């Protein structure tokens, strides 16, 4: 059980991220739903709250360092700590053989699928260390296998 734990899920408004938010909440955690899609994020929070789960929405582009810093700060301001982070947000701009990617697509892919996770961890780890530790789960795409 995750009773009284504080969780943050990036890409939490839809798909796998939304399912993760639902499961964390069902296990007893309070959940910060993070996404760049405000409408879907607020809809997810309403759904969680309807199920009796403590949740709130944070609009964030996790490829933007200042927004990531503010995201973690918002969780700390509301709850005083961060126990669990699931870095699920990613956007893949390219598909197909890597040798056919343009440099622009490759750079965007790194920014939106790798750098964003590093930025989140940078601030999540700092927050977790300040309160005695925590757990981070990073989710990657199976696109790396194709």
* Domain spans in the chain, listed from the N-terminal domain onward: 6-137
Question: Of the candidates 86, 68, 88, 62, which has an alpha carbon nearest to the alpha carbon of residue 141?
Answer: 88
H-type alpha helices, 7-96: 15-26, 38-50, 65-79
Q: Assign a CATH topology to domain 6-137.
A: Rossmann fold (3.40.50)
CA pair distance 138, 80, nearest whole angstrom: 23
12 touches 31 (CB < 8 A): yes
Greatest Cα pair distance in the chain:
49
CA pair distance 20, 73, nearest whole angstrom: 21
CA pair distance 42, 37, nearest whole angstrom: 9
Could you tell me the two tokens for 54?
């403590």
Mean pLDDT by 10 residues, the chain (146 residues): 96 97 98 98 98 98 97 98 96 77 87 92 98 95 60
| Residue 124, SS3 per DSSP | helix
Query: What is the CB neighbour count within 10 angstroms for residue 87?
Result: 24
pTM to 2 decimals? 0.92
């Amino acid at each position: 059980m995750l009773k009284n734990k504080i969780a943050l899920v990036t890409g939490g408004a839809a798909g796998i991220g939304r399912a993760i938010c639902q499961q964390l909440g069902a296990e007893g955690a309070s959940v910060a739903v993070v996404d760049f899609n405000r409408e879907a994020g607020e809809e997810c929070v309403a759904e969680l709250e309807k199920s009796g789960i403590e949740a709130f929405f944070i609009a964030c582009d996790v490829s933007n360092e200042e927004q990531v810093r503010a995201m973690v700060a918002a969780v700390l301001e509301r709850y005083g700590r961060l126990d669990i982070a699931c870095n699920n947000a990613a956007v893949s701009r390219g598909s197909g053989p890597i040798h056919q990617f343009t440099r622009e697509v490759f750079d965007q892919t790194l920014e939106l699928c790798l750098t964003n996770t590093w930025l989140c961890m940078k601030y999540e780890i700092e927050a977790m260390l300040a309160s005695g530790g925590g757990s981070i789960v990073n989710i990657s795409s199976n696109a790396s296998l194709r």
